[in-house]
Amino acid sequence: MAEQNRKTRIGRVVSDKMEKTVVVLVQTTKTHPLYKKLLRRTTRLLAHDEQGTARLGDVVRIIESRPVSRLKHWRVVEVLEHKIPVSVADEVAGA
């Protein structure tokens, strides 16, 4: 599979409790064919995170890849937005 033909998704990390694996929640919108109402659908995808940079709450970009395991077919390309840790947020707020 060529690099330009691979699917990419952007989602939020909802679990990082496994080694080198994160669970990414990807949200898509779809219009109902008859009623034209926007429907929100969520998918939980397991992604391979070799360096372990993604943490709980981070927004990441994942790309389709060859199967790494039985359920992992995606890998983390980059972390787009880091969630601020609670301890740092308290220091910024002055508490």
CATH number at residue 56: 2.40.50.140
Residue 1 has pLDDT above 70, yes or no: no
Residue in 74, 55, 51 with CA at minimum distance from that of residue 63: 74
pLDDT in tens, 23-44: 999 999 999 999 999 999 999 9
Which domain range does residue 40 map to? Answer: 3-93
In the prediction, which pLDDT does 41 show?
A: 96
Q: Which has the higher per-residue pLDDT, 35 or 91? A: 35
Average pLDDT value for the chain: 91
Residues 6+ apart with CB under 8 A from 71: 46
- In the chain, the percentage of residues whose pLDDT exceeds 90 is 81
Overall number of domains in the chain:
1
